[in-house]
A = this chain, B = another copy of it.
Amino acid sequence: MAKEKLSIVKIGGNVIEDKDALKTFLENFSNLEGKKILVHGGGKRATSVAAKLGIESKMVNGRRITDADTLEVITMVYGGLVNKNIVARLQALDVEAIGLTGADLNSIKSDKRPVKEIDYGFVGDVKQVAHQSIDKLIQADFSPVFCAITHDGNGQLLNTNADTIASELAIGLSKLYKIELTYCFEKNGVLMSVDNDDSVIQHMDSGTYETLKDDGVFHDGMLPKLENCFNALEQGVSRVIIGNPSVISNKEQKFTTLYL
Protein backbone atom coordinates (compact mmCIF):
# COMPACT_ATOMS: atom_id res chain seq x y z
CA MET A 1 0.00 0.00 0.00
CA ALA A 2 1.28 3.46 -0.88
CA LYS A 3 2.27 5.48 2.13
CA GLU A 4 0.27 8.59 3.00
CA LYS A 5 2.04 11.94 2.64
CA LEU A 6 3.30 13.77 5.74
CA SER A 7 4.76 17.27 5.47
CA ILE A 8 7.48 18.26 7.92
CA VAL A 9 8.28 21.96 7.77
CA LYS A 10 11.10 23.67 9.63
CA ILE A 11 11.24 27.46 10.12
CA GLY A 12 14.38 29.24 11.18
CA GLY A 13 14.94 31.89 13.80
CA ASN A 14 14.99 34.74 11.29
CA VAL A 15 11.45 33.89 10.20
CA ILE A 16 10.26 33.75 13.80
CA GLU A 17 11.66 37.19 14.51
CA ASP A 18 10.16 38.83 11.43
CA LYS A 19 6.54 39.56 12.38
CA ASP A 20 5.25 39.70 8.79
CA ALA A 21 7.23 36.66 7.64
CA LEU A 22 5.91 34.62 10.59
CA LYS A 23 2.32 35.67 9.91
CA THR A 24 2.65 34.71 6.23
CA PHE A 25 4.28 31.43 7.15
CA LEU A 26 1.65 30.43 9.72
CA GLU A 27 -1.17 31.21 7.27
CA ASN A 28 0.57 29.13 4.58
CA PHE A 29 1.15 26.31 7.07
CA SER A 30 -2.53 26.36 8.09
CA ASN A 31 -3.50 26.02 4.41
CA LEU A 32 -1.13 23.12 3.80
CA GLU A 33 -3.23 20.07 2.93
CA GLY A 34 -2.88 16.78 4.80
CA LYS A 35 -0.93 15.65 7.82
CA LYS A 36 1.82 18.00 8.96
CA ILE A 37 4.46 18.75 11.57
CA LEU A 38 6.15 22.07 12.31
CA VAL A 39 9.68 22.37 13.72
CA HIS A 40 10.92 25.77 14.83
CA GLY A 41 14.24 27.24 15.86
CA GLY A 42 14.57 29.84 18.52
CA GLY A 43 16.05 32.96 17.08
CA LYS A 44 17.86 35.70 18.90
CA ARG A 45 15.20 36.05 21.58
CA ALA A 46 17.01 33.52 23.78
CA THR A 47 20.20 35.57 23.52
CA SER A 48 18.43 38.80 24.47
CA VAL A 49 16.60 37.18 27.41
CA ALA A 50 19.88 35.64 28.58
CA ALA A 51 21.61 39.01 28.37
CA LYS A 52 18.84 40.67 30.40
CA LEU A 53 19.13 37.91 33.03
CA GLY A 54 22.87 38.57 33.21
CA ILE A 55 23.79 35.21 31.67
CA GLU A 56 26.82 35.52 29.46
CA SER A 57 26.77 33.75 26.10
CA LYS A 58 29.84 31.55 26.12
CA MET A 59 31.40 30.82 22.75
CA VAL A 60 34.29 28.47 22.00
CA ASN A 61 35.70 28.49 18.45
CA GLY A 62 32.56 30.29 17.31
CA ARG A 63 30.22 27.66 18.79
CA ARG A 64 27.77 28.45 21.55
CA ILE A 65 28.18 26.54 24.82
CA THR A 66 24.96 25.51 26.57
CA ASP A 67 25.70 25.77 30.29
CA ALA A 68 22.98 25.12 32.90
CA ASP A 69 21.80 28.75 32.94
CA THR A 70 21.67 28.92 29.15
CA LEU A 71 19.68 25.68 29.02
CA GLU A 72 17.12 27.24 31.40
CA VAL A 73 16.76 30.26 29.12
CA ILE A 74 16.40 28.02 26.06
CA THR A 75 13.75 25.97 27.85
CA MET A 76 11.88 29.16 28.76
CA VAL A 77 12.15 30.85 25.37
CA TYR A 78 11.96 27.95 22.88
CA GLY A 79 9.78 25.56 24.91
CA GLY A 80 7.56 28.23 26.46
CA LEU A 81 7.40 31.63 24.82
CA VAL A 82 8.00 30.78 21.15
CA ASN A 83 6.39 27.33 21.06
CA LYS A 84 3.17 28.17 22.92
CA ASN A 85 2.58 31.42 21.03
CA ILE A 86 2.94 29.58 17.72
CA VAL A 87 0.51 26.92 18.98
CA ALA A 88 -2.05 29.56 20.03
CA ARG A 89 -1.76 31.33 16.67
CA LEU A 90 -2.12 28.06 14.72
CA GLN A 91 -5.20 27.20 16.78
CA ALA A 92 -6.68 30.56 15.76
CA LEU A 93 -6.11 29.39 12.15
CA ASP A 94 -7.96 26.10 12.90
CA VAL A 95 -4.86 23.90 13.07
CA GLU A 96 -5.10 21.37 15.93
CA ALA A 97 -1.57 22.23 17.01
CA ILE A 98 0.16 20.62 19.98
CA GLY A 99 3.50 21.98 21.16
CA LEU A 100 6.23 19.50 22.05
CA THR A 101 9.80 19.06 23.13
CA GLY A 102 11.57 15.74 22.67
CA ALA A 103 10.80 15.00 26.34
CA ASP A 104 7.05 14.99 25.69
CA LEU A 105 5.98 11.41 24.94
CA ASN A 106 9.70 10.60 25.03
CA SER A 107 9.44 11.60 21.38
CA ILE A 108 13.12 12.48 20.75
CA LYS A 109 15.81 10.99 22.94
CA SER A 110 19.38 12.29 22.75
CA ASP A 111 22.82 11.59 24.10
CA LYS A 112 24.56 14.49 25.79
CA ARG A 113 27.43 15.30 23.45
CA PRO A 114 30.64 13.71 24.78
CA VAL A 115 33.34 16.11 25.94
CA LYS A 116 36.33 16.03 23.55
CA GLU A 117 38.29 19.18 22.70
CA ILE A 118 35.24 21.26 23.54
CA ASP A 119 32.62 20.77 26.27
CA TYR A 120 29.44 21.94 24.55
CA GLY A 121 27.48 21.57 27.78
CA PHE A 122 23.84 20.49 27.69
CA VAL A 123 23.71 19.74 23.98
CA GLY A 124 22.03 16.57 22.73
CA ASP A 125 22.76 14.47 19.66
CA VAL A 126 19.61 12.66 18.57
CA LYS A 127 19.62 8.94 19.32
CA GLN A 128 16.01 7.81 18.92
CA VAL A 129 12.73 9.12 17.51
CA ALA A 130 9.58 7.51 18.97
CA HIS A 131 7.78 7.49 15.63
CA GLN A 132 4.94 5.34 16.94
CA SER A 133 4.07 7.68 19.82
CA ILE A 134 4.27 10.71 17.54
CA ASP A 135 2.07 8.86 15.04
CA LYS A 136 -0.68 8.52 17.65
CA LEU A 137 -0.94 12.32 17.60
CA ILE A 138 -0.83 12.46 13.80
CA GLN A 139 -3.47 9.73 13.52
CA ALA A 140 -5.70 11.81 15.79
CA ASP A 141 -5.33 14.65 13.22
CA PHE A 142 -3.21 16.72 15.58
CA SER A 143 -0.29 18.75 14.20
CA PRO A 144 2.80 18.49 16.42
CA VAL A 145 4.88 21.67 16.78
CA PHE A 146 8.41 20.80 17.90
CA CYS A 147 10.92 23.19 19.42
CA ALA A 148 14.68 22.56 19.50
CA ILE A 149 14.79 20.72 22.83
CA THR A 150 15.29 17.00 23.44
CA HIS A 151 16.01 14.92 26.57
CA ASP A 152 18.29 12.11 27.69
CA GLY A 153 15.58 9.91 29.22
CA ASN A 154 17.01 10.43 32.70
CA GLY A 155 15.30 13.73 33.44
CA GLN A 156 17.77 16.01 31.68
CA LEU A 157 16.60 18.38 28.92
CA LEU A 158 19.11 19.03 26.14
CA ASN A 159 19.57 21.73 23.50
CA THR A 160 19.46 20.25 19.99
CA ASN A 161 19.81 21.90 16.58
CA ALA A 162 16.37 22.47 15.01
CA ASP A 163 17.53 21.47 11.51
CA THR A 164 18.68 18.15 12.93
CA ILE A 165 15.40 17.64 14.78
CA ALA A 166 13.51 18.17 11.52
CA SER A 167 15.66 15.69 9.57
CA GLU A 168 15.61 13.07 12.36
CA LEU A 169 11.80 13.33 12.66
CA ALA A 170 11.63 12.98 8.87
CA ILE A 171 13.83 9.87 8.91
CA GLY A 172 11.96 8.30 11.83
CA LEU A 173 8.52 8.93 10.38
CA SER A 174 9.55 7.81 6.87
CA LYS A 175 8.91 4.27 8.17
CA LEU A 176 5.21 5.17 8.21
CA TYR A 177 4.76 8.05 5.75
CA LYS A 178 5.94 9.47 2.45
CA ILE A 179 7.82 12.45 3.89
CA GLU A 180 8.16 15.84 2.26
CA LEU A 181 10.69 17.80 4.30
CA THR A 182 10.83 21.57 3.80
CA TYR A 183 13.29 24.03 5.31
CA CYS A 184 11.99 27.62 5.29
CA PHE A 185 14.39 30.45 5.95
CA GLU A 186 14.96 34.07 4.98
CA LYS A 187 16.43 33.32 1.53
CA ASN A 188 14.69 31.99 -1.59
CA GLY A 189 16.69 28.78 -1.54
CA VAL A 190 20.28 27.58 -1.70
CA LEU A 191 22.19 30.36 -3.47
CA MET A 192 25.16 30.13 -5.85
CA SER A 193 26.18 33.55 -4.59
CA VAL A 194 25.17 34.35 -1.01
CA ASP A 195 24.69 38.05 -1.83
CA ASN A 196 22.41 37.48 -4.81
CA ASP A 197 18.96 36.34 -3.72
CA ASP A 198 18.09 35.49 -7.33
CA SER A 199 20.93 32.99 -7.71
CA VAL A 200 18.80 30.08 -6.44
CA ILE A 201 20.06 26.61 -7.30
CA GLN A 202 16.73 25.08 -8.29
CA HIS A 203 17.80 21.45 -8.45
CA MET A 204 20.76 19.87 -6.75
CA ASP A 205 21.71 16.22 -6.52
CA SER A 206 24.31 14.82 -4.16
CA GLY A 207 27.00 14.81 -6.86
CA THR A 208 26.48 18.50 -7.66
CA TYR A 209 26.45 19.19 -3.93
CA GLU A 210 29.87 17.60 -3.44
CA THR A 211 31.31 19.53 -6.38
CA LEU A 212 29.92 22.89 -5.24
CA LYS A 213 31.01 22.18 -1.66
CA ASP A 214 34.57 21.58 -2.86
CA ASP A 215 34.34 24.86 -4.80
CA GLY A 216 33.53 26.66 -1.54
CA VAL A 217 30.10 27.85 -2.73
CA PHE A 218 28.31 27.20 0.58
CA HIS A 219 28.85 29.32 3.67
CA ASP A 220 29.19 27.95 7.17
CA GLY A 221 25.50 28.05 8.11
CA MET A 222 24.34 26.27 4.95
CA LEU A 223 26.74 23.32 5.10
CA PRO A 224 25.28 21.50 8.15
CA LYS A 225 21.77 22.17 6.84
CA LEU A 226 22.62 20.50 3.53
CA GLU A 227 24.34 17.62 5.32
CA ASN A 228 21.08 17.10 7.26
CA CYS A 229 19.08 17.20 4.02
CA PHE A 230 21.16 14.62 2.14
CA ASN A 231 21.29 12.43 5.22
CA ALA A 232 17.47 12.49 5.30
CA LEU A 233 17.23 11.60 1.59
CA GLU A 234 19.67 8.73 2.05
CA GLN A 235 17.56 7.36 4.90
CA GLY A 236 14.20 7.23 3.19
CA VAL A 237 12.81 10.78 3.04
CA SER A 238 11.10 11.30 -0.33
CA ARG A 239 11.65 14.96 -1.07
CA VAL A 240 13.62 17.81 0.50
CA ILE A 241 12.96 21.46 -0.36
CA ILE A 242 14.70 24.63 0.82
CA GLY A 243 13.02 28.00 0.32
CA ASN A 244 11.43 31.11 1.82
CA PRO A 245 8.34 31.06 4.11
CA SER A 246 6.03 31.09 1.06
CA VAL A 247 7.49 27.95 -0.50
CA ILE A 248 4.85 25.75 1.18
CA SER A 249 2.07 27.75 -0.53
CA ASN A 250 3.02 26.20 -3.93
CA LYS A 251 2.94 29.72 -5.38
CA GLU A 252 6.69 30.28 -5.22
CA GLN A 253 8.62 29.95 -8.47
CA LYS A 254 12.06 29.89 -6.89
CA PHE A 255 13.24 27.31 -4.39
CA THR A 256 15.76 24.48 -4.16
CA THR A 257 14.82 20.82 -4.52
CA LEU A 258 17.42 18.28 -3.41
CA TYR A 259 17.91 14.80 -4.85
CA LEU A 260 20.22 11.91 -4.14
A-side residues, CB < 8 A to B, are 49, 52-54, 72, 75-81, 83-85, 87-89, 91-92, 96-101, 103-106, 133, 136, 140, 142, 149, 151, 153-157
Contacts and interface: CB of A to CB of B under 8 A. Distances in A.
A76 B80 contact: yes
If over half of A's interface residues share one DSSP class (helix, strand or loop), that class is named, otherwise mixed; here it is: helix
B81 A103 contact: no
Contacts of A89: 155
Contacts of A75: 80-81, 84-85
Contacts of A87: 101, 103-104
A187 B136 CA distance: 39
Nearest to A78: B80
A226 to B, nearest CB: 30
B105 A142 contact: yes
B49 A133 contact: no
A133 B98 CA distance: 11
A24 to B, nearest CB: 15
A156 B92 CA distance: 9
A249 B225 CA distance: 48
Given A49-B53, A80-B83, 20 more contacts: A52-B52, A75-B80, A79-B81, A80-B84, A84-B101, A87-B104, A88-B101, A91-B106, A91-B153, A91-B155, A96-B106, A96-B133, A97-B103, A97-B105, A98-B98, A98-B100, A99-B104, A133-B140, A136-B140, A140-B140
